[in-house]
Structure 1
Amino acid sequence: MAVAPVTYPFSASSSSITAPAARRRRQQATHALPAAREPPRAGGAAGAEERTRRGKEAEVDDEEAERRRKEEVNRKIASRKALSVILRREATMAVLDTRKPGKGTRRLLPRTVLEALHDRIGALRWDSALKVFELMRDQVWYRPHIGIYIKLITMLGKCKQPEKAHDLFQAMIDEGCAPNLESYTALVSAYSRSGRFGEAFALLDRMKANPGCQPDVQTYSILIKSCLHAYDFEKVKSLLADMTRAGIRPNTVTYNTLIDAYGKSGRFAEMESTLLKMLLEDCKPDVWTMNSTLRAFGSSGQIETMESCYEKFQESGITPNIKTYNILLDSYGKAKMYEKMGAVMEYMQKYYYSWTVVTYNVVIDAFGRAGDIEQMEYIFRLMKSERIKPNCVTLCSLVRAYGRAEEVKKIKSVLRIVENSDITLDVVFFNCLVDAYGRVEALAEMWEVLDLMKERQCKPDKVTCTTMIKWFLIKGIDDHRVQYLRELKAERHKDDM
């Protein structure tokens, strides 16, 4: 796909900005059947043969109908039995959270308990998962298994519960399960995800001292990723040097993590040198490498470099995915290169790339920035017709666009969408709402946003306070409300320190 040379009008009258390709199914041709003709009447022997033949056909039809009827009855019976089993299992799993180890709870079905534990781990419901695990340990059939411990420790790390992860690690040892590389790595991840680098690096040293648990590329990659999230690039350099001394070569995941972090922080020289090192070490880039690189250059406005990288990655045999095209759309939209953005949309439509919520959000935001409210609303209606649920990002784009267009009624229509849905709102949405009301000089409504935030259990941050103070002062208002906002801003500043 050569994006650059294709031109495409990005306007409300554009004919090809229609439903996504996934909804465009080819209509199957219908063929008219010839009219049924009444068979000729026959008499004598020929007529008798014809009647016999018809009788046999009728018997076959009756047998077929009876067979189908029995199949339908059996299917309904099987369906009822299956539903009964499912309901019983769900009822059992529902009470597992409230039941405590003790009399009458030691002979629960292994499959039910394991399914309950697996579901809670997958949903990151760590408190409930630990209760089910405690119940499991009390069963007569329970035997310690290191794999279950590793899954639980990994879950606790994702939930930023490093102390509980350590307690579980110790319980695993107490039950006779010898720690292995995977369990140590899970605990290292738990500490590093929470920013507890002292404990994480101490564990790394313990692993080095244990011949059977030497850290591998996954252990280092997890630590590197956590350090990059904390913008501690010095620790990253130390870890990479440590890997070199140990003879551990970074893999594609390690390099992708580095490229993505360097790109997001604007460290393009380090990003490019990492990509070059990746190629020199014969570590093949993948679509994640391509997406991280394109996102870095595109978000910084380096469109020509982004396009050049896109062509080179494709020439190396890497196939773009939906995320790739979302990145291109977003980059072109923010650069106001609407013709190229339209070309990408046309290409996606032509080659049947189904739009995701991210695609819709990018396009809605682009139309909103361009001030094309009519087309933005059309895409939003299309999104709902495709049964793709809007999220907080969608609503932020709508509110920002309506604020710029000074459409007070339409800002309130977004709030009605919120009232009639279960969309989770964050402080960014409320900050957009505050700014939009300020732009249209609806200061009373802007002040009421604080009450709305309280209802939604969302605390105002420094941006909320600063934005509201700005619009009050622009209107020449410096009363008790502004003083309250200044005090609230000072409190938030202390909380952040």
Structure 2
Amino acid sequence: MDLRFLDSVSLSWSSSSFLTPTTRSIKVFTETTNSSKLPLVLVKAAKKESENSSQGLQKETKKNLSRILRTEAAIKAIERKAKSTKYNRLWPKAVLEALNDAIGQNRWQSALEIFSLLRKQHWYEPRSQTYTKLLVMLCKCRQPKQASLLFDVMLSDGLRPTLDVYTALVSAYGLSGLFDKAFCTVDEMKTIADCKPDVYTYSILINCCTKLHRFDLIEHVLTEMSYLGIECTNVTYNTIIDGYGKAGLFELMESSLTDMIESGTCLPDVFTFNSFIGAYGNCGQIEKMEKWFEEFQLMGIKPDVKTFNILIKSYGKAGMYEKMGSIMEFMSKRFFSPTIVTLNIVIETFGRAGNIKKMEEFFLRMKHQGMKPNTVTYCSLVSAYSKAGLLKKVDSILRQVDNSDVILDTPFFNCIISAYGQAGDVEKMGELFFEMKERNCKADNITFATMIQAYNALGMIEAAQDLEREMLSAKDNSGMKLIGC
């Protein structure tokens, strides 16, 4: 479980230079060699070597591209064959690559279809690692029913569940709010010698409780851990602290920090620190945020880039732009390079505030620093332009995205569909909805709600009703059974 919390360092706030644009000229120096002073034979040799090197690089690039295209074609071919029942002698590498690709992209329907195809192959041998990967994916996709069916298939394949398999199943149930099943699975684990729940299992369970705001169950989990002699780790405490902080339960958050320190085995770290300042900063309690920033500094915990990103976001949300700028200056002086996340936060902050000029300035700075804008960047720009009624600017962003290799996701399409919907351009909105399907971006409730609202606002009742039916159909199809198993 990869939780992120952070730590501290003293800051001296500087003046409002952040608000005054500064330009820096970047000079590129090129060195040239006077070839006329070299013997002719050396000049020719150097030229030939350069040409050979260039041709070799081109051949290598073409070779790599060809290999990638062949792999992608093989994966797509396997996905097509997965829907058939007649293929049982496929090449192992192609099937396994297709399965890993589907799992890596959390395309759970495709992954289960390919896994079903895998089980039909004459060379297939059941492996618990494969089941663990699939269960973790189903957990991420909130598919507890599929996870339960997959677990049954694993048993039918003659495999004994491992600790990792059981823990993934606990997570799948817990993150979907099925806590009765999650706790029953933990109880079942206690009866199996090699699968007894450990601190990681319980930390996963606590994480599920915090994410779904079932804070009433946390004390029960901690009591059970104590009874079994399982001590909390930093991850356990940080999970609890982060959960309480995000829910605004500050007293419980601070109490958990006290428990962490008094345990004698766990000390606060940068993750703990970031949870604290993030919790107070997100709620606009700037004084408390700064107080705890200093407190963690006294504990000897130093900040990282995420710490500064939290401070920038908190000050920006509170409209304290001078302090926001001071943080960036401080980062520069201490050799903390701003990341794409840092600049995305600044762009979003100024965009939300309606300061288009400042937003565009930092967008250009991002490009000049060699950072590649991502979907988060473009979403912020589109939202700001839409709010300001600058639809031509939205068109410009769409052209930039089309000419880039940015992988578009559902949130981006939701953002740009909303922009054209609010402007009453339902034709463009429909085109984007179609493109969304073409790119295999799954429409969610926000997509449908945005479009239905736009159609209703323009009196296009029939179109809105068609979308409602499509939305209901999409929900029904998501409940498919485990194919071929």
Normalised TM-score (structure 1): 0.73
Q: Partner residue of 2:266?
A: 283
- Residue 8 of structure 1 aligns with an amino acid whose one-letter code is S
1:313 corresponds to which letter in structure 2? F
SS of 1:448's partner is coil
CA distance in 1, matches of 2:35, 2:67: 50
Shift of 1:191: 1.3
User: Could you tell me which residue of structure 2 aligns to residue 7 of structure 1?
Assistant: 14
Identity %: 38
Question: For the residues of structure 2 that align with 1:122 and 1:343, how far apart are their CA atoms?
Answer: 40
| One-letter amino acid of the counterpart of residue 208, structure 1 | K
**Aligned residue identity for 1:141:** W
Unaligned runs of 5+ in 2: 1-7, 402-407, 434-442, 472-485
Structure 1: unaligned runs, 5 residues or longer: 39-53, 435-444, 470-478, 493-497
CA distance in 1, matches of 2:426, 2:449: 7
Counterparts of 1:70 and 1:375, CA distance in 2: 48
Determine if the alignment matches structure 1 residue 162 to structure 2 residue 144.
Answer: yes
* Greater mean deviation of Cα atoms: 367-376 or 449-458: 449-458
Report the AA paired with residue 12 of structure 2: P
Q: Deviations over 1:30-66 (max 9, x none)?
A: 789899879xxxxxxxxxxxxxxx9xx96x9988888
Q: Which of 332, 346, 349 is residue 329 of structure 2 equivalent to?
A: 346
Match of 2:3? Answer: none
- Report the more deviating stretch, 231-240 or 376-385: 376-385
Three-state SS of the structure 1 residue aligned to 2:245 is helix
Aligned to 1:149: 131
Q: Deviations over 1:435-463 (max 9, x none)?
A: xxxxxxxxxx85827887666462337x9
Of 285, 297, 305, the match for 1:322: 305
Change (3 A) 1:423 1:64: closer
User: What residue identity is the alignment partner of 1:307?
Assistant: E
Match of 1:194 among 159, 176, 181: 176
Segment drifting more, 78-87 vs 376-385: 78-87
Seen in structure 2, the aligned counterparts of structure 1 residues 106 and 32 have a Cα distance that, compared at 3 Å, is closer
**Superposition deviation, residue 233 in structure 1:** 1.0
Measured in 2, the distance between the counterparts of 1:178 and 1:186 equals 15
* Distance change >3 Å, CA 197–CA 362, structure 1 → 2: same
Instruction: Between 133-142 and 212-221, report the one with greater CA deviation.
Output: 133-142
Question: Which residue is 1:459 aligned to?
Answer: 448
Give the one of 253, 275, 299 matched to 2:282.
299
Using CA pairs below 8 Å that are at least 6 residues apart, which structure has the higher relative contact order?
Answer: 2
CA distance in 1, matches of 2:342, 2:158: 50
Q: Distance in 1 between matches of 2:66 and 2:18?
A: 55
1:96-245 residue pairs with structure 2 within 5 A?
Answer: 96-100=78-82, 105-108=88-91, 110-245=92-227
CA displacement at 1:147 relative to structure 2: 0.7
Pick the structure with greater CA Rg: 1
Task: Report the counterpart of residue 448 of structure 1 in structure 2.
Answer: 424
Task: Give me the whole-angstrom Cα distance separating, in 2, the residues matched to 1:460 and 1:61.
Answer: 68
Map of 2:372 onto structure 1: 388
SS of 1:203's partner is helix
Q: Deviations over 1:208-254 (max 9, x none)?
A: 22232111112111221112122111112211211111111222222
Query: Closer, same or farther in 2 for the Cα pair 1:7/1:212, shift >3 Å?
Result: same
Distance 1:424 1:417, change over 3 A: farther
Tell me whether 1:309 sits opposite 2:309 in the alignment: no
Q: Aligned equivalents of 1:433 and 1:62: distance in 2?
A: 59
The RMSD of aligned alpha carbons is 4.4
8 Å Cα contact 1:392-1:423 kept in structure 2: no
Q: Structure 1 residue 399: deviation in Å?
A: 4.2
The 5 Å alignment of 1:19-30 reads none
Contact 1:6/1:343 (<8 A) preserved? yes
Give the deviation of 1:354 after TM superposition.
3.9
